Structure 1
Amino acid sequence: MVVHRNMRRCEWEATISKRHHILILVENLPVPFDRRVWQEAQALNDAGYEVSVICPTGRGYDKNYEVIGGIHIYRHPLEEAGSAAGYIKEYFTALVYQIYLSFRVRRRQRIDVIQACNPPDLLFLVAMIHKVLFGTFFVFDHHDLSPELYVSKFGRKDLFYKLLCFFEKQTFRMADASVATNETFRDIAVRRGGMPPDRVVVVKSYPEAARFRPTTPEQSLIASGKHLIGYIGIMGEQDGVDTLVRAVAEILHVRKRDDIHCLIIGDGPELKRLKAMTDELGIGGSLRFTGYLSGQPLLSHLSAFDVGIIPDPPGELNDKLSMNKVFEYMMLGLPIVQFNLPQATREAGHAALVVSEHSPQALADGILALIDDPERRKQMSMVGRAVAEREFRWTGEAGRYLDAYGDLFRRRLDVHDQRHYSTS
């Protein structure tokens, strides 16, 4: 009996991925723009799983349905909110779209696992419907701390905050497994979410090293006697890009330095306001916005930077986040200036100059300290690259991610075997 059972297990594990279909839900960013989700989808696809994704349109990805590299992508409209009431409307509308599209996906092929990537923490409701009706597994990919994100945006802990805490708790209760972006998130899943420790796996959001390397700098950004500082990322209220804009104004108008230029790459709900602020401060000649970039243009622009800036303010949310730009700056050998963010500081190590006071003036101090010390920049660059080449490997993270799915399906096999042999 034991031999027979082991043979069945080996046969099943040999074909585990080829017999299962994973549906990934994303509400706040389109795929493949969302790099982490796209890497996960590709890892599953490469391992032989069937993969579908439901996400919003935007960022140049406006087709309602397409297949990229064998991955089926279903998209729905999304209007980003700017107020608490707006978020209720956004989340409700997105939830209706995602429930509808999940059944459209199911009509095409049976769904074995639904993976929900937050925010918001309402997507467990989509998974719950399929779990109750069809026994579908639910995996929670924990990207953001929704309660802390709300406080960061609106500065209060009201009824809506309490609802977010409730939804977070229900998401963890519903999850068969949880994927955390760092060890802090893992601790929150166990302590605040009540997840069993053996069902939480840390998968960090490293870029693929083979594709994210220094390249020939964009020549239009190189000017004799000028130093280029820069930022890459989403521009929301919690990202603090306005502090960088004010720091540039401080450098130009108060410190009387005309050798500093700034480039801001990316977009987001704050972009229009930040452009207006740049004009009001009279620094448009030294600060440029590129909008969203990807591929070789992105790398050539980043490779022209002398210093990478992380202007995110300290707080309940940012203190706990692993930021993609930390990994990206280090992989490109860029010295970093940032505020005192515990998680980002641990990950950047000696590649970052940490500014203790949160203000445009202190950020300007940190920027100028590095600009005026080329030897220190060189050492920080070498340290960052060395750590990145040694530790920032998506292949290792992808292995842990796939192991989590293997464990999930093996648990189902164990339950099936126990039922089978208890009745035989």
Structure 2
Amino acid sequence: MKRVDYDICAAVVSDLSFDARVWKEVRSLTRAGYDVRLIGCGYELPRPQRSSVDGVDVLEISLGSRAGAVSVVRRARTLLRLWLEIVRTHARVYHAHNIHVGPAAWIASRVRGRALVYDAHELYGESSATGLLSRISAHVASMVERFMVRRSDFVITTNASRAKLLQQRHGRPSIVVLANVPERCDHVAPLDPGYPRDSPVILYQGGIYARTRAFRQTIAALAMLDDAELVILGFGRENDLALIRLWAAEEGVERRVHLLPPRPFDELVRTAAAATVGIVPILTLDSRTWTGDTNKLFEYLMAGLPVAASDIPEIRRVITVGDPPPGELFDATSPASIAEAVERILKNPQKYAERRKVARALALAEHNWDAQESRLLEVYSSLLDGSDHEPVDADCRNPSLAYDEDES
């Protein structure tokens, strides 16, 4: 078989059907004329599946069945297959999304004398669990993160708070920030995936992790709101969904809590536009959650949806801007605080309409992929300068490339 050489090999251990950040990056790079291979995962695949999507050469490794828990052996086998595919791939740059594929990307880059990019969607090294296995896992993750941050040609993360923490932990002088924002949508047609009628819809969309999101507190808050429905739209394992149902029954609101299946990531702005309030209930368990923001926040804003969200720095920075601001903050440990934040958004129809306009205006002016794409292309221009690729509608406007602690 003839060897195929790529400009970029991007890899991630996640279900590619729902990883919007990875797809935005590889599509931007492909539009700029680079040959990109994306190696990731998918559920319900009988065997590795290769395809071409928007000019990206995609290879998906099976994660098994979505319905049940994935065994440690199955996870290890999937990770090994991913690593082997990364090492086999000839590329000029290896782009590792999170630590799981980092070691293989580093090996491939060093064997071939190529560049390495580490893209930190998350921070690692802390665990809210107290078990021995969890502590060991957190320690190993911390060591891999340190290794990748120190040995990559470029390090990327999602916001300035995480960039600063990575610098402090690992002594990296500068880190590129690519925000978790959606692609710009000049027109949003609301898409109703099955919302209840005739009542305000409080929408959560994203991964359903019952113990690391404030779902219990949000459901308790729902019981304090006379006329509202909670819609939880996304993927969750059966034990998480069972907890949601249990908590709803305990609060007597089981008829007002609705679990809907996940939608493709390119529909999420439209499903948000059909709701009444978007909710971001993050529990601050560690530095990873304290420095988070979540792409769902920015999807809500692009949809023109007012937001009730946890009071953490990166979220506060976004939703307290404007008059009126597009959202309200709450203490995620307090059901009363959550209920009060939602009530403040809903109680004044005129102010609510203004909030929707402010949310949309902020998304179009600041919180969209255009500026992030330019920053990403600057990274790759510096790595692959002099290549013979031909940009396709690439608009590189020379933004500030990296977060530098001395300038913060």
Tell me how far 1:207 sits from its aligned partner.
0.9
Tell me how far 1:180 sits from its aligned partner.
1.7
Q: Which of 232, 237, 249 lines up with 1:264 in the alignment?
A: 232
Moved more, 351-360 or 49-58: 351-360
Gaps of 5+ in 1: 1-18, 252-256, 413-424
- Indicate the residue corresponding to 2:300 in structure 1: 329
Tell me how far 1:174 sits from its aligned partner.
2.0
Q: Which of 210, 215, 218 lines up with 1:244 in the alignment?
A: 218
Asked if 2 retains the 8 angstrom alpha-carbon contact of 1:153 and 1:238, the reply is: no
Q: Which amino acid aligns with 2:236?
A: G
The TM-score normalised by the length of structure 2 is: 0.81
- Indicate the residue corresponding to 2:337 in structure 1: 362
Q: Which of 141, 146, 150 lines up with 1:164 in the alignment?
A: 141
- Indicate the residue corresponding to 1:21 in structure 2: 7
Asked if 2 retains the 8 angstrom alpha-carbon contact of 1:241 and 1:312, the reply is: no
The answer to whether the aligner puts 1:388 opposite 2:385 as a matched pair is no
Give CA deviations for 1:82-129 in whole Å, capped at 9, x if unaligned: xxxx8975664343111222244x2xxx211111111xx242210222
Tell me how far 1:155 sits from its aligned partner.
11
Distance 1:90 1:242, change over 3 A: farther
1:39-188 equivalent positions in 2, closer than 5 A: 39-58=24-43, 64-78=49-63, 92-104=76-88, 106=89, 110-118=90-98, 121-148=99-126, 150-151=127-128, 158-188=135-165
Q: Which amino acid aligns with 1:404?
A: V
Q: Which amino acid aligns with 2:212?
A: Q
Q: 1:178, 1:70 → 2: CA distance? A: 25
- Indicate the residue corresponding to 1:311 in structure 2: 281
Q: Which amino acid aligns with 2:31?
A: D
Q: Which of 243, 247, 260 lines up with 1:290 in the alignment?
A: 260
Distance 1:378 1:360, change over 3 A: same
Q: Which amino acid aligns with 1:69?
A: D
Aligned partner of residue 283 in structure 2, secondary structure: coil
Aligned partner of residue 111 in structure 1, secondary structure: strand
Q: Which amino acid aligns with 1:77?
A: S
Moved more, 285-294 or 313-322: 313-322
Q: 1:348, 1:60 → 2: CA distance? A: 40
- Higher-helix-fraction structure: 1
Tell me how far 1:300 sits from its aligned partner.
4.8
Q: Which of 212, 234, 241 lines up with 2:207 in the alignment?
A: 234
Aligned partner of residue 186 in structure 1, secondary structure: helix
Tell me how far 1:49 sits from its aligned partner.
1.0
Distance 1:217 1:64, change over 3 A: closer
The TM-score normalised by the length of structure 1 is: 0.78
- Indicate the residue corresponding to 2:15 in structure 1: 30
Aligned partner of residue 147 in structure 1, secondary structure: coil
Q: Which has the higher contact order (CA 8 A, sep 6+)?
A: 2
Q: 2:164, 2:217 → 1: CA distance? A: 31
Q: 1:320, 1:55 → 2: CA distance? A: 26
Q: Which amino acid aligns with 1:234?
A: G
Q: Which amino acid aligns with 1:335?
A: P
Q: 2:178, 2:47 → 1: CA distance? A: 29
Aligned partner of residue 267 in structure 1, secondary structure: coil
Aligned partner of residue 18 in structure 2, secondary structure: coil
Moved more, 366-375 or 270-279: 270-279
Distance 1:304 1:97, change over 3 A: same
Ranges of 4+ aligned residues in structure 1 off by more than 4 Å:
59-63, 86-91, 152-157, 295-300
Tell me how far 1:51 sits from its aligned partner.
0.7
Distance 1:61 1:183, change over 3 A: farther
Give CA deviations for 1:301-351 in whole Å, capped at 9, x if unaligned: 322211111111134222211211111111111111112111111122222
Asked if 1 retains the 8 angstrom alpha-carbon contact of 2:311 and 2:330, the reply is: yes
Asked if 2 retains the 8 angstrom alpha-carbon contact of 1:309 and 1:338, the reply is: yes
Gaps of 5+ in 2: 388-408
| Root-mean-square deviation over aligned CA pairs | 3.1
Distance 1:343 1:280, change over 3 A: same
Asked if 2 retains the 8 angstrom alpha-carbon contact of 1:353 and 1:366, the reply is: yes
The percent identity for this pair of structures is 23
Q: 1:164, 1:296 → 2: CA distance? A: 31
Aligned partner of residue 254 in structure 2, secondary structure: coil
- Indicate the residue corresponding to 1:408 in structure 2: 383
Q: 1:117, 1:374 → 2: CA distance? A: 43
Tell me how far 1:40 sits from its aligned partner.
0.6
Asked if 1 retains the 8 angstrom alpha-carbon contact of 2:302 and 2:363, the reply is: yes
Tell me how far 1:153 sits from its aligned partner.
9.6
- Indicate the residue corresponding to 2:399 in structure 1: none
User: Would you say how many aligned residue pairs link Structure 1 and Structure 2?
Assistant: 372
- Indicate the residue corresponding to 1:6 in structure 2: none
Q: 1:146, 1:373 → 2: CA distance? A: 42
Tell me how far 1:61 sits from its aligned partner.
11
- Indicate the residue corresponding to 2:351 in structure 1: 376
Q: Which amino acid aligns with 2:24?
A: Q
The answer to whether the aligner puts 1:338 opposite 2:317 as a matched pair is no
Q: Which amino acid aligns with 2:229?
A: H
